[in-house]
Amino acid sequence: MKILITILIFIFQFQSAHAGTNEDRINNLIKTMNGVAPKYDGPNCWNSALVLAGALPSFRYTDEMEVRFWLKSPVCRELQSNEEPQLGDLLVIRKTENYIPNSDHDIEVHAFTYIDPLNGFTKNGQGNLAQYQIQSISETIKKYEVTDASCNRVYGRAPNCQNYVNYFRCQTMGEYISNNKPSLPSDFRDYKIQVDELEVKVSDATFNGIDDSNLQTLKDRVQNLQQIFMSYEKMPDSLKKSITGVNNKLVVIDPIRYFLWEVLDYSLSSMNSQLTKNTTVTK
């Protein structure tokens, strides 16, 4: 029987801009996905946490660049140490051992979803044998080598911890769009519709399987769209009006529209990576 994952996600995510529905959306996703494993490798912890937070619309692979983009985006913010976590918040485990010089971040190790003070929802690894599961917070952070109790929750960087946990809260994309009411021209909306359609198809193929011919067709569609997103000359005119170049640097004139374009760009990159994994089935 097919797993009706993406249908549930789109229903609950886009209802979540309305009061009283976001908790239902998260609980329904946890109930639906608990114990589920994908057919192919790829779907991972970062993606799971971002889907339950309402930032991403479908279960698939998410690379480190995409999760870092979201955590720094106007949709998400880090919780101060005295703020109480709530259902749907992200617990993000980071490593200081491989600190990147001249950067403002450490290595992303793992992310999972806060359910209550004792439990979280996680996918431990991107393998197709790794199930989505409810797991105690203490067990998850122990698995990812947060060994010092003082590192279990910190704000910002923690240079005295090898691994540490930051807490984040994100708006759903429905809430973000409702709050900001961006003006999206028709050419921009057309690309968003295409990317949203691909999200459904890629997730469906990843959890339910896909034959080689349809897999190649799907790869071609994703990669053709990527070329448009990577080239200023091929960008829609509406986006070109939102950015300009000054002294060889990008200057964003319309930050909301540009952010939404970046959302689609990062999604396409991760979807392309997912489709390269859609021939990997672990027995």
The domain locations on the chain are 5-175, 182-276
Give the model's pLDDT for residue 1. Answer: 46
Q: Average pLDDT in the 127-137 region? A: 97
pLDDT in tens, 34-93: 999 999 999 999 999 999 999 999 999 999 999 999 999 999 999 999 999 999 999 999
Q: Is the pLDDT of residue 188 over 90?
A: no
Q: Is the pLDDT of residue 19 over 50?
A: no
Q: Which residue has the tokens 């490593």?
A: 95
Overall size of the chain counted in residues:
283
Q: How far apart are CA 174 and CA 27, in angstroms?
A: 17
Question: What is the fold, at CATH topology level, of the domain defined by 5-175?
Answer: endopeptidase fold (from Nostoc punctiforme) (3.90.1720)
